[in-house]
């Protein structure tokens, strides 16, 4: 930890034992009530125990103003910000500037969500934290989402308890909203309040959000994204209130989720799914150039009826290679065979076994990279990833040579592959 300079008058100094100075702040009954909701002041033993805990479970700083220590601030390991400013130095923007600096520290550390516990009677702290983007979630909990997802007319952010009314009115009580989803309708306001608390709890550990309309400030739906493997993300459901459909909001949400997946996770591929009868969602997939890659029969737990889910994918890289398929690879291999005719082994049924052996050798090269470096590092380290892809390309080259040797067409392969896929879907 290093000293953090905020401006010429204000700095954050890494914690060191200075109980004589700090005890003065915690001998103020009003301040103790303000920050801890207690009716007694701190003893020296309590002060030492507090600093021992904060300094060992987070990054604890003194707030230094014009050369004098006037408070403390901590970024806890659980991503909570705790701050105390001596009452005689309050209302000078010292607390606000200090919290802003700790928010910057959290960004440097890659922390996405920050929280603060503020008692309902502490109007001063509520106003300060709110001015820095913290939103009241429930009870004494305030949260700052450093990854709020923006769109032209909407934004995606974490749910708050006060959103229960909007969600009940716009989404949860509306049959047209749940028609293509897997959730059941909420029957009354009391259930809506229970549901919003479950939503808040779920969203703490998932990249899921409520959708807010900017011009009205209302919660009008929900959406989310999920990282499913190293460089691929999948939408985790998109739902809008009935009155907000047909306004282009679905396009804004899906675009924002794809941009977020690329920026936050470095995703190169985005997956999307919808029910076969959901015409609007299928049009959305077509608008963004998604390619259908499969389907799956499922059972609706609500009434037991069977429906079909369509699976889509889209490349998030500049050049979409979604159409780079068997025929194109085979054409490339044919051109190489023609170029090196007389130097390379001929293509035919009798040489197919040799191509298979060469392919197995290249698979061994792939295996060596992963065995030596591990799967995760092989995917994420740029040099290793380049080598991995090169070896996999060699595997595909020999694989296509095998197809050429035995005269297997892309159409035959697709038919067989699709049949096996459908069988596997229903195997268990």
Q: How far apart are CA 414 and CA 243, in angstroms?
A: 42
Close Cβ partners of 421 (under 8 Å, ≥ 6 residues apart)? 294
310-361 pLDDT, tens digit per residue, is: 999 998 875 544 456 788 888 888 888 888 888 888 889 999 999 999 999 9
Binned at pLDDT 50, 70 and 90, residue 254 comes out as very high
115 pLDDT more than 50: yes
Dist CA 240 CA 226 (whole Å): 19
Q: Tens digit of pLDDT for each residue in 361-377? A: 999 999 999 999 999 89
3-state DSSP assignment of residue 350: coil
Q: Nearest CA to 170 among 237, 240, 246, 238?
A: 240
Structure tokens at 287: 């608008």
CA distance 154 to 200: 20
Average pLDDT, rounded, for the chain: 91
Q: Which of 218, 240, 252, 267 is nearest to 150 (CA)?
A: 252
- With pLDDT > 70 as the criterion, what percentage of the chain qualifies? 98
What is residue 321's predicted lDDT score, i.e. its pLDDT?
Answer: 45
Tokens of 296: 């799956």
Q: Which residues have CB under 8 Å from 17's CB, separation 6+? A: 48, 51
Q: 12-54: per-residue pLDDT in tens?
A: 999 999 999 999 999 999 999 988 999 999 999 999 999 999 9
What CA–CA distances, in Å, run from 328 to 136, 317, 331?
A: 55, 20, 5
Residue 62 pLDDT grade (very low, low, confident, very high; cuts 50, 70, 90): very high
pLDDT tens digits, residue range 298-310? Answer: 998 888 889 999 9
**Per DSSP, what are the bridge partners of residue 364?**
none
Tokens of 407: 């005269």
Q: Which helix (H) or strand (E) holds 239?
A: strand 232-240
> Percent of the chain having pLDDT more than 90?
72
> Do residues 75 and 87 touch, judged by C-beta distance below 8 A?
no
Q: Collect all residues with Cβ–Cβ distance below 8 Å to 255 and sequence separation of at least 6.
A: 151, 288
Residue 276 DSSP label: T
Range in 103-112, 236-245, 257-266, 317-326 with the lowest mean pLDDT: 317-326
Q: How far is residue 69's CA from residue 94's CA, in Å, rounded to a whole number?
A: 12
Q: Which residue has the higher pLDDT, 359 or 264?
A: 359
Q: Which residues touch 371 (CB under 8 Å, ≥6 apart)?
A: none
For 232, 241, 248, 250, 251, the CA distances from 287, given in Å and listed in that order, are: 20, 21, 11, 11, 8
In 10 A of CB 390, how many CB atoms? 13
Q: If we measure between CA atoms, which residue out of 318, 152, 146 comes closest to residue 250?
A: 152
- Distance, in Å, from the CA atom of 225 to the CA atom of 41, rounded to the nearest integer, reads 47
**pLDDT at res. 320:** 46
Contacts of 120 (CB under 8 A, 6+ apart): 140
Nearest alpha carbon to residue 169 among 131, 195, 147, 133: 195
Q: How many CA atoms lie within 13 A of 128 on its CB side?
A: 23
Q: Is the pLDDT of residue 79 over 80?
A: yes
pLDDT value, residue 323: 55
Tell me, what's the pLDDT at 30?
92
The pair of structure tokens assigned to 86 is: 């001596």
The residues with which 297 forms a beta bridge, in sequence order, are: 308
Confidence of residue 138 (pLDDT cuts 50, 70, 90): confident
DSSP 371-385: HHH-HHHHHHSHHHH
pTM over 0.75: no
Integer CA distances (angstroms), 292 to 21, 81, 228, 273, 309, in order: 67, 46, 18, 9, 11
């Amino acid at each position: 930890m290093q000293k953090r300079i905020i401006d010429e008058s204000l700095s954050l100094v890494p914690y060191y034992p200075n109980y004589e100075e700090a005890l003065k702040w915690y001998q103020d009954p009003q301040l103790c009530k303000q920050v801890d909701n207690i009716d007694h002041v701190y003893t020296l033993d309590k002060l030492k125990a507090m600093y021992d805990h904060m300094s060992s479970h987070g990054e604890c700083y003194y707030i230094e103003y014009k050369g004098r220590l006037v408070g403390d601030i901590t970024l806890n390991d659980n991503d909570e910000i705790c701050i105390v400013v001596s009452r005689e130095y309050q209302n000078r923007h010292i607390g606000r500037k200090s919290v802003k600096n700790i928010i910057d520290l959290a960004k440097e550390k890659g922390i996405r969500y920050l929280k603060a516990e503020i008692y309902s009677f502490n109007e001063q702290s509520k106003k300060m934290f709110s001015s820095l983007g913290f939103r009241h979630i429930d009870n004494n909990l305030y949260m700052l989402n450093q990854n709020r997802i923006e769109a032209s007319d909407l934004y995606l952010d974490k749910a708050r308890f006060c959103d229960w009314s909007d969600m009940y009115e716009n989404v949860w009580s509306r049959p047209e909203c749940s028609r293509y989803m897997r959730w059941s309708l909420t029957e009354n306001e009391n259930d809506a309040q229970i549901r919003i608390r479950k939503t808040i709890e779920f969203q703490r550990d998932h990249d899921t959000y409520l959708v807010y309309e900017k011009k009205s400030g209302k919660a009008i739906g929900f959406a989310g994204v999920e990282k499913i493997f190293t460089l691929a993300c999948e939408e985790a459901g998109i739902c809008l209130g009935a009155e907000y459909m047909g306004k282009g909001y679905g396009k804004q949400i899906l675009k924002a989720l794809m941009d977020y997946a690329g920026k936050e996770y470095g995703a190169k591929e985005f997956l999307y799914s919808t029910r076969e009868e959901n015409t609007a969602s299928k049009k959305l997939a077509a608008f963004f150039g998604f390619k259908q890659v499969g389907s799956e029969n499922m059972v609706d737990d609500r009434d037991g009826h069977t429906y079909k889910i369509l699976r889509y994918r889209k490349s998030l890289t500049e050049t979409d290679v979604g159409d780079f398929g068997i025929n194109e690879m085979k054409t490339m291999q044919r051109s190489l065979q023609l170029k090196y005719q007389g130097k390379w082994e001929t293509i035919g049924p009798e040489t197919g076994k040799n191509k298979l052996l060469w392919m197995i050798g290249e698979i061994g090269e792939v295996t060596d990279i992963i065995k030596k470096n591990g799967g995760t590092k092989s995917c994420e380290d740029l040099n290793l990833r380049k080598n991995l892809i090169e070896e996999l390309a060699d595997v595909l080259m020999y694989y296509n040579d095998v197809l050429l040797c035995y005269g297997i067409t892309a159409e035959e392969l697709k038919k067989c592959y699709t049949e096996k896929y459908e069988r596997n879907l229903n195997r268990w």
